Amino acid sequence: MNLTCAPPGLLLDFMTLNPTQITIAYAEDHRMFREAICSLFNADPRFRILIEATNGEEFIQRLEAAPDLPDLALIDISMPRIGGFGVLKFLQEKAPQVKAIMLSAFDHKSNVERAIIEGASGYVVKGDEFSELMDAVLKVQENGTYFKSAAAQQFFNSRKSGKSPRPVLNEREREVLELICTDMSYEQIAARLNLSQKAIEFHRHRLFNIFEVTNRAGLMLIALSQGIVSVPPPPAIDFLNSAAGHCLRSKCSAIRHHGAARKRNFAQTALLS
């Protein structure tokens, strides 16, 4: 058997893996392209392809059966059965610790924007050099992102210019945010959405980073004041009408004029005062 590129779906758990290697799961329906990429990664000791799949459905089945999750997933957007965005949604809900890089033959603005909004960590066009994909994997593994295509740059530039004043949230992030703005515990939110507590923790940290806050009170206040959560349930209204809520609102208003750095610390200061 040629171990340079294992058959689709084969888990390489029989191999002695270098603990410093970046482990990868790869879903791609074009066999020649998949095998070429697989061989190039496996030829480099920094990487190891653990899982291969020819479509999204097979990818999900192989991932669920795997004894260990990979560090990162490479996902072709256009696949039969379950497409790339279906796989991305599965990862966000069931295995959010697996970072995802979307692959496409086209640099379509709609695909790039959707990948960014739905939580992908990178987007690479198949026509690029292999070194570009390798750089993307290394950057994403270092807790970064990789969006260097022309369409991605247009998206980010439009946000910087103020054309998208509100943070862009995907459907799951909005659901989590709406429930955070209630009196439900994180455990109850996980049960309501049929997600693991680790998945809820991932989305919570992501929302904290998006809104530049450090705790739930600050997140709730900004979400309600910006109208992102339009009709707060009674517990949220009670909090905002309370003395603590008035204090937090006044401090929030003052800090907005002194830059984003202070805004990250105001909620903690308010709750301790």
Domain 22-160 sits in which CATH superfamily? Response regulator (3.40.50.2300)
33 and 54 in contact (C-beta within 8 Å)?
no
Q: 181 to each of 63, 156, 185, how far by Cα in Å?
A: 33, 28, 10
Structure confidence at residue 213 (pLDDT) = 76
Q: Which helix (H) or strand (E) holds 213?
A: none
Structure confidence at residue 26 (pLDDT) = 97
| Choice among 114-118, 205-209, 210-214 with the minimum mean pLDDT | 210-214
Whether residue 164 is predicted with pLDDT greater than 80 in this model: the reply is no
- Mind listing the pLDDT tens digit for each residue in 7-21? 444 444 434 456 689
What are 208-217's contacts with CB under 8 Å, separation 24+? Answer: 210/167, 210/169, 210/173, 211/167, 212/260, 212/263, 212/264, 213/263, 213/264, 213/267, 214/264, 214/265, 214/267, 214/268, 215/267, 215/268, 215/271, 216/180, 217/248, 217/267, 217/270, 217/271
Report the predicted TM-score, pTM, of the whole model to 2 decimal places.
Answer: 0.58
| Choice among 6-20, 73-87, 116-130 with the minimum mean pLDDT | 6-20
Angle formed by the axes of helices 56-65 and 84-94, to 10°?
30
Q: 111 to each of 108, 187, 203, 227, 237, how far by Cα in Å?
A: 5, 33, 22, 27, 38
Q: Is the torsion defined by CA of 21, 27, 28, 29 positive or negative?
A: positive
Residues 6+ apart with CB under 8 A from 263: 212, 213, 252, 255, 256
Q: Which two tokens stand for residue 264?
A: 């990250």
List the 22-27 sheet strands across, edge first: 47-53, 22-27, 72-76, 99-104, 122-125, 146-147
| Mean local confidence (pLDDT), 27-53 | 95
Q: Band of the pLDDT at 239, cuts 50, 70, 90?
A: very low
In terms of C-beta density within 10 A (0-12 exposed, 13-18 middle, 19 or more buried), how is residue 227 classed?
A: exposed
The domain ranges of the chain are: 22-160, 171-272
Structure confidence at residue 83 (pLDDT) = 92
| Choice among 34-43, 112-121, 181-190 with the minimum mean pLDDT | 112-121
Q: Which two tokens stand for residue 85?
A: 């965005």
CB atoms within 10 A of CB 265: 13
